[in-house]
Amino acid sequence: MIFITISAAVFIFAVISHIIIYNLLIKYSIKGYITYLFVFISGLICDVYLIRVLSLNSRGMSYNFWSENLVGSSICLYILLALTYLLFFLSPMGEESPTSKILLLLRKSQKMTETQLTSYFSNDKLIKGRLKSLVDFGWIKQVDKMYSVLPKGGNIAGIILFYRKLIGWKTFA
């Protein structure tokens, strides 16, 4: 279990490092996407090194659940966490996806009609479908022709805003 904890801690350190380095590069108008590979491969090397050192030092320990030797699982955990973060980092949630844009617009203005919402997009059919999905998820509600954000959708919009500000991406709303 200690190896799993170490892998999670190294991953969190890698995410923080990635955000800091990415923001520094963006300030100087340098594309920061390559930092992902550099930071997370460095993190993987650090993770493997720490686990190797600890596994060599833990051979004489008495067995308990905490000292369970999960070397392979912990390295797989780090890799899966890094890939998951990559998917999020490169996902449309970071860009202007219809879902994030709708949630941010409704969070900012409280209530908007479908016509007002679709005026921010070029594909009305896509947005009408997305509005229906967001209502079905319980993230927004529709009363008559007005839409408003529900607490769950407001929380998700807050996470999107926090992440966009943290990584230095501009917000439209």
Question: What is the C-alpha end-to-end distance of the chain, expressed in Å?
Answer: 43
The 3-state DSSP class for residue 147 equals strand
What does the pLDDT read at residue 81?
Answer: 86
Q: Please state, in angstroms and rounded to a whole number, the distance separating the CA atoms of residues 118 and 101.
A: 11
- Give residue 93's pLDDT: 45
3-state secondary structure of 148: strand
Q: Which helix (H) or strand (E) holds 141?
A: strand 140-143
Give counts: helices (H), strands (E), the chain. 7, 3
Find the mean pLDDT for residues 132-141.
87
Q: Which pTM value belongs to this model? A: 0.49
pLDDT tens digit string along 88-117?
Answer: 665 544 446 778 788 888 888 888 998 888
pLDDT tens-digit profile of 42-59? 888 888 888 777 776 766
